[in-house]
Structure 1
Amino acid sequence: MVSKRKKEMDEMGLVTTKEMFAKAYNGGYAIGAFNVNNMEIVQGITEAAGELNSPVILQVSKGARAYANHTYLVKLVEAAVQENPQIPIALHLDHGDTFELCKSCIDGGFTSVMIDASSKSFEDNIALTKQVVEYAHAHGVVVEAELGTLAGVEDEVCVEAGHESYTRPEEVEEFVDKTGCDSLAIAIGTSHGAYKFKASQCTRNADGVLVPPPLRFDVLEECIKRLPGFPIVLHGSSSVPQEFVKMVNQYGGNMPDAIGIPEEELRHAAELAVCKINIDSDIRLAMTGNIRKYFAEHPDHFDPRQYLKPARQAVKDMVAHKIQYVLGSAGKA
């Protein structure tokens, strides 16, 4: 079964994340995992990665599959692989919440899946993750799991601030040993969405700008000690660039106190054992800000190609910035 699946992946040109992560771990950089929902996003991400010779992970959420259809998304990714044969590209399911969803993606061409059972008990998380791992490995697909829960909202993932929980380092060895997962998403203070923190959780600098609480690098470092050489993943790692928040608000939006994770903290994490950093909200902000600006400056235009072209360029520029200055993956393909 694995050899047949590998042949199918080879024909599609997709790879798993196994070799990507091994190189990233030893090289002190991370691979960007960018959420895709339509053609322009796929194009912008892969054009940036291709020009910078960077490996990349295109990830699809349950919500993206509902919006764009599994088949359309897979075919868009296949087209991107054909256009960028010089770089490794993996297709990953983000936040799969059931065995059935993971199985559907494994059977449907994905090379990596995440099973997120972090809301369940430790024992139930192990049981469901192990079930997915056994099926995935039998089909040549790798599995990401999660311990700890992140606050914030992303598609159908919703955890109120104050209900998140940091990963318990003393659990990670048992979890990985019993499940056989290939990478582990941990909770060290990142958060989903553009509104990652309440104002009460932050301080304000001299300019009155909200500053989020620092990431728990002590938790990350303890996990590294307990899982030497094992790839760690960070979810909810958009930085919510204030230039795009201002752009959205300037052209009719309403995003008060949107705040993200400082890029210098993410770069430090990438230098350690974090091999995959998830980024979604920053792409959405860049696209939406530029579309709002275009509409304001060209009220007579109505052709979607006119406003989606600068939106696509904004995605490309955002991804290029992340690859060069946050992930450190430029030239690593």
Structure 2
Amino acid sequence: MTLVKMKDILAHAEENQYGVGAFSVANIEMVMGAIRAAEELRSPLILQIAEVRLKHSPLNIIGPAMVAAAKAATVPVAVHFDHGLTEEKIQEALEIGFSSIMYDGSHHPLEKNIAETKKMASIACEYGATVEAEIGQVGGSEDGSVDLEVLITSTEEAKRFAAETGIDALAIAIGNAHGMYKGEPNLRFDRLEEINGELDIPLVLHGGSGISGNDFRTCIRHGIRKINVATATFNTVVEMVNVQTPFKDYFSYHDSVIEAAGENVKRHMEMFQSVGRLKGDKAHV
């Protein structure tokens, strides 16, 4: 159990019909909290950071820490570069040792998205890394700076995109959105089921913060294998830390952030049905 390819984690999830949480982190405390949670619940884990977050958490600092933590873990952990926008940063993440990357060309027309994704996939292939990409447009933006409209993924375009790019996992838009939802999420399960019936690669759900346990289970039943969670973790940390202020010393604060991040990870792992899903462990559903 150590740093592994995301492709292998998702293959086991597909074989056993569960979802794997991909948890965004911003500091070493969140990394520690996520891994402790995964080890406690005997669940596979995907640690990730998005390119737009690097202004707060420089890749050359947090990246090696994520990789080192994964290598020391007692459960399988993939380290993923999420929403990669530039070749420079994708290359840097791969050099650091990230075991998977996502190139996000969803803002481009289909033809350019295919061409750019193939280029990034070729680079990742040199490192043996898993490749995720996106088609359609998930609502909002990863850092909340832009209120993007949801563009539901076309089944035919998804088939073409997967066939021409050769990617390992595909993020789709079915009404999901980054950040917290302004109302009840209205997910297009019919479109998800249709896409899943036509593709033979794991599907990815971005914008997992705020979706109900029932909706997660429906998504998993229809082919979603990787579920991204960011805002829920950040919000849980802030809420739990605010309850305990003022702190007597820094290290009490440090421990509180670890605990808060871990609690959110555990809550989502339960919903995703990944608890006890390690090879050789008895599954907990």
The Cα offsets for residues 63-110 of structure 1, whole Å up to 9 and x where unpaired, read as 3333222232133223423542x2111110110112222122112211
For residue 161 of structure 2, what is the amino acid of its counterpart?
Answer: F
Q: CA deviation at 1:290?
A: 1.3
Larger radius of gyration: 1
Partner of 1:119: 107
Count of residue pairs the alignment pairs up: 278
Per the normalisation by structure 1, the TM-score is 0.79
Residue correspondence of structure 1 range 163-242 to structure 2 within 5 A: 163-194=149-180, 196-197=181-182, 202=183, 212-227=184-199, 229-239=200-210
* Contact 2:70–2:78 (8 Å) recurs in 1: no
* CA offsets 1:109-130 (integer angstroms, 9 cap, x no match): 1110000000000000000000
Q: 1:95 matched to which residue of 2?
A: 83
- Structure 1 residue 46 corresponds to structure 2 residue 45: no
Contact 1:30/1:328 (8 A) holds in 2: yes
**Alignment identity in percent?**
35
Deviation, 1:302, is: 5.3
- The one-character-per-residue Cα deviations of 1:190-233 (angstroms, maximum 9, x if unpaired) are 11112x23xxxx4xxxxxxxxx1431001101101110x31000
Q: Given residue 328 of structure 1, which amino acid in structure 2 is its aligned partner? A: Q
Instruction: Please give the root-mean-square deviation of Cα atoms over the aligned residues, in Å.
Output: 1.8
Whether the aligned pair in 1 keeps the contact of 2:21 and 2:227 (CA below 8 Å) is yes
Q: Distance in 2 between matches of 1:75 and 1:117?
A: 26
2:281 corresponds to 1:331? no
The structure 2 residue matched to 1:266, chosen from 216, 219, 242, is 216
Which residue is 2:54 aligned to?
Answer: 65
d(CA) in 2 for partners of 1:180 and 1:213? 31
In structure 2, runs of 5+ residues without a counterpart are 279-285
Write the letter of the residue equivalent to 1:155: D
1:214 maps to amino acid: N
Moved over 4 A (4+): none
What's the counterpart of residue 265 of structure 2?
Answer: 319
Q: How does 1:250-329 map to 2 (within 5 A)?
A: 261-295=211-245, 298=246, 301=247, 303-324=249-270, 326-329=271-274
1:21 aligns with 2:10: yes
1:136 to 117, 121, 124: 124
Amino acid at match of 1:170: E
